[in-house]
């Protein structure tokens, strides 16, 4: 699978997961079309080893996390549970996306051990821009929020 096919697979899997889990809708955009009007971001990261090893991360504006959690939980964004579960909802989106991407690119029989997703809050625009400029990053819009996904994989020999 070449880089473009891999990015398209990751993007399609992510759109499917965010739509089914959080009832949010992704759309493909070119990097030069993205206008970022946020100054704080949250990044969820996790790794995997097995038939291949690598890592995946998703970075979103902090303002998006409560909306993901509210939709995930089926409650209003003002519900008290939203703050408590906003990080967990993003980690779950990442975890499910990772599993589905690995199955899509390595097949049903591939075996992986996944690390526990972790969260980094308070990421500044400068770090967003660094990941945004990375050749490996995938950018999309989800309900008018910019989302960055980075996926790296190395086959085990």
**What Cα–Cα distance (Å) separates residue 79 from each residue in 10, 61, 119?**
32, 20, 22
Please give the domain boundaries of the chain with CATH numbers for all domains.
Answer: 3-155 (3.40.1550.10)
Q: CB count, 10 Å around CB of 22?
A: 22
As a whole number of angstroms, the distance between CA 51 and CA 142 comes to 31
pLDDT tens by residue, 32-62? 888 899 999 999 999 999 999 999 999 999 9
pLDDT tens by residue, 82-115? 999 999 999 999 999 999 999 999 999 999 999 9
Band (pLDDT 50/70/90 cuts) for residue 74 is very high
Q: Is the pLDDT assigned to residue 155 strictly greater than 90?
A: no
Q: Is the pLDDT assigned to residue 116 strictly greater than 80?
A: yes
């Amino acid at each position: 699978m070449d880089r473009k096919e891999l990015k398209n697979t990751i993007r399609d899997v992510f759109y499917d997961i965010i739509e089914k889990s959080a009832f949010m809708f992704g759309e493909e955009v070119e990097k030069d079309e993205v206008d970022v009007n946020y100054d704080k971001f949250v990044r969820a990261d996790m790794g995997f080893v097995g038939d291949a090893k690598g890592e995946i991360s998703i970075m979103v504006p902090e303002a998006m996390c409560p909306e993901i959690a509210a939709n995930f939980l089926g409650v209003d964004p003002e519900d008290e549970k939203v703050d408590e579960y906003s990080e967990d909802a993003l980690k779950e989106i990442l975890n499910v996306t990772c599993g589905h991407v690995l199955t899509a690119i390595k097949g049903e029989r591939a075996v992986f051990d996944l690390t526990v997703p972790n969260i980094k809050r308070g990421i500044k625009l400068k770090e967003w821009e660094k990941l945004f400029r990375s050749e490996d990053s995938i950018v999309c819009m989800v309900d008018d929020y910019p989302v960055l996904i980075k996926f790296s994989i190395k086959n085990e020999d």
